[in-house]
Structure 1
Amino acid sequence: MLTFPNAKINIGLNITEKRPDSFHNIESVFYPVNWCDALEIIPSTQFGFQSSGLAIPGDQTSNLCVKAYHLLRNEYPVLNTGSVLFHLHKVIPMGAGLGGGSADGAFALKMLNEIFELNLSTVALQNFARRLGSDCAFFIENRPVFCFNKGDEFEEYPLSLKGKFIVLVNPAIHISTAEAYGGVTPKKPEVSIKEALKLPLNKWEGLIKNDFEENLLWKYPAIAEIKKTLYEQKALYASMTGSGSTVYGIFEQETDLKSMFADFMVWQGYLT
């Protein structure tokens, strides 16, 4: 079985408060983007995991695909009667604010559910995904949502950017979660993301904000320059996604900017 786990972007990201468990509560809209990895799972007599494409740091036990397999295996004995071979071709850059690893883990859960005929409901799959990571559950339904709490609780949100063109630029600057949150003072937003998103897309600038940007764009001028350039190229809206360092611009029409960002990793295409 072969699937293509996709990335997501954050449209707005407010860090509203620090939780007693040391996590943070956030508010954001997650939107799927068709920048994809490729994940193949084949039934086998013994377990195996291999990868190609971008190098994945750490050993395979820390990979969310492998964790997804063992998570289900601990709950459902049928997984002990057979095993699987994973092959992950990694295309989405890691630590980039795009949720690529989370997507891989969530898609692995969905595929294993089908291969072993577990008949898990969407809610059950989301609950397993939450045990893998905060934003993994988003990729079970994989559609635009308003997210809150740790980023793992969702409300349906009627946002469609279908037909708009998006350019994502990743400058390969690694920003750890601790570094990103260390530069933020949690606060309630002046303007609700839900309300701001009701405005036309070209009115979002200055209203829909990513709270990580204030510190990180000052600390890493290359990220700020990417955002500035996207606006100069007539982006309707541009923002860093997640805790960075990827920046995206949303355009009314197709805009080829690969040559402009020749030193960086770039993906561009239509939103659906």
Structure 2
Amino acid sequence: MLVFPNAKINIGLNIVEKRPDGFHNIESCFYPVGWSDALEITLAETFSFHADGIAIPGNAEDNLCTKAYQMLRRDFQLTPVKIHLLKTVPIGAGLGGGSADAAFTIRALNQLFELNISIAEQEHYARQIGSDCAFFIRNKPVYCFEKGDQFDNIDVNIAGKWIVLVNPGIHISTVDAYSGVVAKRSTENLRTILREPIIEWRGRVRNDFEATLFKKYPLLEEVKEKLYSLGAEYAAMSGSGSTLFGIFGGEQNLKQHFPDFRLWQGFLK
């Protein structure tokens, strides 16, 4: 079975408060984009995981795809499988690539072994792997809150817009991103703003990580401002990682403007 775990962007990210368990409550809009890995799962005599493409830190036992398989195997009679991942979505980039791989592993195993696990149950399993992992089970635009693992419908109309994702190759860990961040509630309602035309978002739909990470990595702010100078209707950093995105009214080809960075561009659905 071959599936293509896609990335997501955060449209707005407010860090609301620090939780007693050490995590943070946030609010954001998760939106799927087409930048994807390739994940193949086949039946085998013994379990194995192998990855090509972008190097993934750690060993096979610690990979989120392996963790997803072992988690389901504890509750279901799964026979061994071979998992082969072609990694193309950058790591530590705020795109949820590892979470997507794990979620798509759950979805694929559910289909391959005809487990009949409901959507809600798949989300329950995914939440045990990572905060944003459950998003990729339904894989549609949502308003997310609490740890980023609770979802509600959101009215945001950007389907058909052209998006450009620029990753300058800076790996930002979650710990690095949260260091120095001061949690506070936003004075504006994110869900209300996102119902307005995209041209109204600039300066109002904010990613709270930008304030500290732009100081530490000035290149990130330079990329954001360049996207605006090239005509983006809205530009921001995604999640806690280093990827910047610009949303445009029509199709663009910006590869020549960012020759040294990883770049993906395409239409939003």
SS of the aligned residue for 1:206 comes to coil
| 1:126 aligned residue (123, 127, 131) | 123
Q: Report the alpha carbon displacement of residue 224 of structure 1 after superposing the two structures with TM.
A: 0.5
Deviations 1:79-102, CA, capped at 9 Å, x for gaps: 1xx210001000000000000000
Q: CA RMSD in A?
A: 0.7
Partner of 2:222: 225
Q: What is the one-letter code of the residue matched to 2:216? A: K
Supply the distance in 1 between the matched residues of 2:265 and 2:81 (Cα, whole angstroms).
Answer: 33
Supply the distance in 1 between the matched residues of 2:87 and 2:228 (Cα, whole angstroms).
Answer: 29
Q: How does 1:128-143 map onto structure 2 within 5 Å?
A: 128-143=125-140
Supply the distance in 2 between the matched residues of 1:226 and 1:244 (Cα, whole angstroms).
Answer: 14
Supply the distance in 1 between the matched residues of 2:237 and 2:191 (Cα, whole angstroms).
Answer: 18
Supply the distance in 2 between the matched residues of 1:96 and 1:241 (Cα, whole angstroms).
Answer: 8
Q: Report the alpha carbon displacement of residue 2 of structure 1 after superposing the two structures with TM.
A: 0.3
Supply the distance in 2 between the matched residues of 1:170 and 1:57 (Cα, whole angstroms).
Answer: 18
Structure 2-normalised TM-score? 0.99
The answer (yes or no) to whether the contact 2:6–2:100 under 8 Å persists in 1 is yes
| 1:247 aligned residue (244, 247, 250) | 244
SS of the aligned residue for 2:40 comes to strand
Supply the distance in 2 between the matched residues of 1:26 and 1:185 (Cα, whole angstroms).
Answer: 12
**Number of residue-to-residue matches in the alignment:** 269
Deviations 1:64-92, CA, capped at 9 Å, x for gaps: 1100000000111x11xx21000100000
Partner of 1:33: 33
Q: How does 1:64-79 map onto structure 2 within 5 Å?
A: 64-76=64-76, 78-79=77-78
Structure 1-normalised TM-score? 0.98
Partner of 2:254: 257
Supply the distance in 2 between the matched residues of 1:114 and 1:46 (Cα, whole angstroms).
Answer: 20
Q: Identity of counterpart residues, as a percentage?
A: 56
SS of the aligned residue for 1:132 comes to coil
The answer (yes or no) to whether the contact 1:37–1:92 under 8 Å persists in 2 is yes
Supply the distance in 2 between the matched residues of 1:232 and 1:121 (Cα, whole angstroms).
Answer: 46
| 1:105 aligned residue (102, 106, 113) | 102
Partner of 2:180: 183
Supply the distance in 2 between the matched residues of 1:64 and 1:117 (Cα, whole angstroms).
Answer: 21
Q: How does 1:41-60 map onto structure 2 within 5 Å?
A: 41-60=41-60
Partner of 1:62: 62
The answer (yes or no) to whether the contact 1:43–1:85 under 8 Å persists in 2 is yes
Q: Report the alpha carbon displacement of residue 44 of structure 1 after superposing the two structures with TM.
A: 1.3
- Flag structure 2 segments of 5+ consecutive residues without an equivalent: none
Partner of 2:153: 156
Partner of 2:192: 195
Runs of 4+ in structure 1 displaced over 6 angstroms?
none
| 2:206 aligned residue (209, 222, 226) | 209
Deviations 1:125-165, CA, capped at 9 Å, x for gaps: 00000001000000000000000000000001132321100
Deviations 1:41-62, CA, capped at 9 Å, x for gaps: 0011211111111111110111
Supply the distance in 2 between the matched residues of 1:174 and 1:49 (Cα, whole angstroms).
Answer: 23
Q: Report the alpha carbon displacement of residue 183 of structure 1 after superposing the two structures with TM.
A: 2.0
Supply the distance in 1 between the matched residues of 2:173 and 2:86 (Cα, whole angstroms).
Answer: 23
Supply the distance in 2 between the matched residues of 1:85 and 1:244 (Cα, whole angstroms).
Answer: 30
Q: What is the one-letter code of the residue matched to 1:60? A: A
The answer (yes or no) to whether the contact 1:13–1:26 under 8 Å persists in 2 is yes
Q: What is the one-letter code of the residue matched to 1:135? A: D
SS of the aligned residue for 2:257 comes to coil
- Flag structure 1 segments of 5+ consecutive residues without an equivalent: none
Q: Report the alpha carbon displacement of residue 174 of structure 1 after superposing the two structures with TM.
A: 1.4
Q: Report the alpha carbon displacement of residue 22 of structure 1 after superposing the two structures with TM.
A: 0.2
The answer (yes or no) to whether the contact 1:183–1:212 under 8 Å persists in 2 is no
SS of the aligned residue for 2:160 comes to coil
Q: What is the one-letter code of the residue matched to 1:50? A: H
Supply the distance in 2 between the matched residues of 1:19 and 1:145 (Cα, whole angstroms).
Answer: 22
Q: Report the alpha carbon displacement of residue 215 of structure 1 after superposing the two structures with TM.
A: 0.9
Supply the distance in 1 between the matched residues of 2:56 and 2:157 (Cα, whole angstroms).
Answer: 33
